[in-house]
Amino acid sequence: MTLNPLRVFADTGPRKLLAGSRRFAMAFFVFVAITSSANISFADEDGISFWIPGFFGSLAAAPQQPGWSLTSIYYHDDVSGSGNEAIARAIRLGLIPKVTVSISGNADVHAKNVNIGFIAPTYVFATPFLGGQVSASLLMGYGNNDTSLNAAATATVDHLSPFSVSIARQQDTTGFTDLIPIFADRWNAGVNNYMVYLTGDIPVGLYSSSNLANIGIGHGAIDGGVGYTYLDEKAGHEFSAVAGLTGNFENHSTNYTSGIDFHLDWAAAQFLSKQVFVGPVGYFYEQLSPDHGCAPILCPFESRVIGLGAQIGYIFPVAGMQGYLNLKGYGEFAHDDRPDGWNLWLTFVLSPATPSSTSSPPPILTKTPRS
């Protein structure tokens, strides 16, 4: 994801770097302690998570230009799943009893046309906080989810005789997403950049437990983590990685609590000029603890997926401001208890231009995007 493509590097020196690293570590461990002790979940209902893998990308931890910026994102997702992820959807809809003790046959769920437009106004503060640069964003969106569920199975409930079920459902839902506030603090020391972030889900989007296709997730969540960016300006080399944990609150419509999730987004880039870069992208998503409230036949219900892809970015001036366009796509594999497929991100960012400098610009780039 891109929230502000401009960076302002200033070598803070070893003392400030050490202090920043200590604050960075302290902030992360405080988050872990809160997540572990709060009354939140110990996997993901229907195989759908709060965190969208691939959210962070290149230059995630690099400092940004102070002031307002606006990010616009088109997100397309096409995934399908069989087995547990399809059966879980059927049980939530009441099409198969939750007390089912065995099931055989075929079940498939396909979210074949998920299209969401996001916007994220961001403000980057000029005044340091804990020696770092603070930013605050609010991600909101509107979109469409077209999902189908098909099953032909034989199930057994308790000690009763087996029964057959045939399911063929399709739903096309359009509405607003949940609101997602995002707060981050960044520290810089030469080619090394560090970040901590905290975000969460405010469940105000379109959701109903009787819907096959939803836009919101139906429950609150809290997520936080750490990031690192390596950037060699002279050579135009860049690598970023952001790791985080998600804790989920109970979905009161279904009395279901998703588990704790770990996610890792990474990206690498080679700048071909001051305006264009290309490189690989990827993510790893792993559920660390099982859901609470899932059907006994499904528990433990723990999601996993890996994604790999590529990106291209382009930087250009726009009426005295900075424009940035990024396209990246992922193909997924190694999934478990979660649909997999492919997804596409098209991002446009409009942000303040870097102030003019009397010193010579670096040989590769003077303004750098974060995708």
- Contact yes or no for 335/359 (Cβ under 8 A): no
Contacts of 284 (CB under 8 A, 6+ apart): 53, 263, 264, 306, 307
pLDDT, tens only, 88-118: 667 776 666 666 656 666 666 777 789 999 9
Q: Cα–Cα distance between 107 and 47 in angstroms, integer?
A: 14
Contacts of 29 (CB under 8 A, 6+ apart): none
pTM: 0.79
Q: Break the chain into its structural domains and give their ranges.
A: 13-307+324-352
pLDDT, tens only, 302-311: 788 999 999 9
Contacts of 107 (CB under 8 A, 6+ apart): 82, 83, 86, 87, 90, 149, 150, 151, 152, 153, 167
By three-state DSSP, how is residue 280 classified? strand
Report which of 1, 143, 145 is spatially closest to residue 78, judged by C-alpha positions. Answer: 145
For the chain (371 residues), the mean pLDDT of every run of 10, in chain order, is 42 42 46 38 62 92 90 91 67 65 66 90 93 95 88 70 74 94 95 96 92 90 97 90 95 86 96 93 92 70 88 91 93 84 94 60 37 41
